[in-house]
Structure 1
Amino acid sequence: MPGLVNALVIVIVAALVIARQFRARPIDTDRRWWVLPAVLAVVALREPGILDAHHHTGSAVLLAVELLIGLGTGAGWAWTTRVWTEPDGSVWTRSSKASGAVWAAGIALRVGVFALGAALGIHQDSSALMLGLAGTLLVRSGVLTWRARSLDDVSPSVSAYGDAMPATRKEFV
């Protein structure tokens, strides 16, 4: 039953996160962006079946590959997400089509890892997938927060080139 509950949690979290990211929304750089990934990691690590009892080395390698895929997916997702500053100074974000492609590639790679494990006879628990999702969200949130803070550092009082120039007659026509 815990495997089914973990799978349900993974599907719900992934669906909510993905659905939210394809809508423009402000990003708050002061919030605790690491909390959800930390909770997912704790839930995943509390499960005793994260490593196969009969194939310790093989399951550890597959878990490491799962984590690397999660970290790569998170980084790719963060760098393909559009980040901009509104005139009021708030920083906004929205995932792009490239972000969707990164997610699709990450899911395909995870399916491949699961299929490889199944072919080798290595039992893989859903907690490995949850740990990979935690890594994805941690890296994505960290990179987006860093990108948003770098936009916050740009002072809105600094004028752009040409702001102090008087308007020409053609501009009023």
Structure 2
Amino acid sequence: MSGLVNALLIVAVAAVVIVRQFRAVRVDTDRRWWLLPGILAVVGLREPGLLDAHHPTASVAILTAEVLVGLATGAGWAWTTRIWVEADGAVWSKSTRASVAVWAIGIGLRVALFAYGAGAGVHQGSSALLIALAATLLVRSGILTWRVRTLDRTPAPAYGDAAHRPSRKERVR
């Protein structure tokens, strides 16, 4: 795949993920949560030029740091996502403002890594970004699925439901 196709794929996946994360989404632990990250990783690993032949050590270090940032971003995103159980037992999730901070920090670190690599003369393709995005989505989905599976699925009563309302006392004169 060309660099342009990879860039379009990255932008499309990021747009879908970002839009979906701020809407309430029903969580289904039976689905194949690892499939999209797996596809992205395979596409990223198949690309030639993942590592710069002229700077192999620096290239591996930057790629490793990129994947570690992706793993940390995915974990932070999963732990800042709010999950709840509806009255019918369905589990829902929605990202919070803290999730925005996690994304901002992750993107800032990725920009810093790219700037460092460019300053060191290391050629960086889009495949490293695809692999890091795959790591982010894989960790986020895995942790979120684990959190949902360990969740008590008994819905909490809404305020005032099944509350004992004492009868009003009357005064006798």
Flag whether TM exceeds 0.5 (same fold).
yes
The alpha-carbon distance between structure 1 residues 103 and 165, as it changes in their structure 2 partners (threshold 3 A), is closer
Q: Secondary structure at the match of 2:115?
A: helix
Where do 4+ consecutive residues of structure 1 move more than 6 Å?
Answer: none
Structure of larger gyration radius: 2
Q: Deviations over 1:79-128 (max 9, x none)?
A: 11110111110000001111011111111110000000000000011000
Q: Secondary structure at the match of 2:82?
A: strand
- Determine the structure 2 residue equivalent to 1:83: 83
Q: Secondary structure at the match of 1:169?
A: coil
Q: TM-score, normalised by structure 2?
A: 0.90
- Determine the structure 2 residue equivalent to 1:6: 6
- CA distance in structure 2 between the aligned counterparts of 1:85 and 1:62, rounded to whole angstroms: 41
Instruction: Give the Å deviation of 1:7.
Output: 1.0
Instruction: Tell whether the 8 Å contact from 2:82 to 2:94 is kept in structure 1 after alignment.
Output: yes
Instruction: Tell whether the 8 Å contact from 2:81 to 2:93 is kept in structure 1 after alignment.
Output: yes
The alpha-carbon distance between structure 1 residues 98 and 120, as it changes in their structure 2 partners (threshold 3 A), is same
- Determine the structure 2 residue equivalent to 1:63: 63
Q: Secondary structure at the match of 2:49?
A: helix
- CA distance in structure 2 between the aligned counterparts of 1:80 and 1:158, rounded to whole angstroms: 21
- CA distance in structure 2 between the aligned counterparts of 1:22 and 1:101, rounded to whole angstroms: 13
- Determine the structure 2 residue equivalent to 1:20: 20
The structure where helix makes up a greater share of residues is 1
The alpha-carbon distance between structure 1 residues 22 and 165, as it changes in their structure 2 partners (threshold 3 A), is closer
Q: Secondary structure at the match of 1:49?
A: coil
Q: Deviations over 1:11-66 (max 9, x none)?
A: 11001111011001110011000000000000000012110011111100000000
- CA distance in structure 1 between the aligned counterparts of 2:144 and 2:4, rounded to whole angstroms: 31
Instruction: Give the Å deviation of 1:167.
Output: 4.2
Superposed CA RMSD in Å reads 1.9
- CA distance in structure 2 between the aligned counterparts of 1:55 and 1:130, rounded to whole angstroms: 20
Instruction: Could you tell me which runs of 5 or more consecutive residues in structure 1 were left unpaired when the two chains were aligned.
Output: none
- CA distance in structure 2 between the aligned counterparts of 1:59 and 1:107, rounded to whole angstroms: 19
The alpha-carbon distance between structure 1 residues 106 and 167, as it changes in their structure 2 partners (threshold 3 A), is same
Q: Residue type of the partner of 1:94?
A: K
- CA distance in structure 2 between the aligned counterparts of 1:165 and 1:96, rounded to whole angstroms: 30
- Determine the structure 2 residue equivalent to 1:104: 104
> How high is the sequence identity, in percent, across the aligned residues?
64
- CA distance in structure 1 between the aligned counterparts of 2:132 and 2:99, rounded to whole angstroms: 17
- CA distance in structure 2 between the aligned counterparts of 1:123 and 1:139, rounded to whole angstroms: 27
Q: Secondary structure at the match of 2:150?
A: helix
Q: TM-score, normalised by structure 1?
A: 0.90
Instruction: Give the Å deviation of 1:164.
Output: 8.6
- CA distance in structure 2 between the aligned counterparts of 1:92 and 1:128, rounded to whole angstroms: 32
Instruction: Tell whether the 8 Å contact from 2:63 to 2:128 is kept in structure 1 after alignment.
Output: yes
Aligned pairs, how many?
165
- Determine the structure 1 residue equivalent to 2:154: 156
- Determine the structure 2 residue equivalent to 1:32: 32
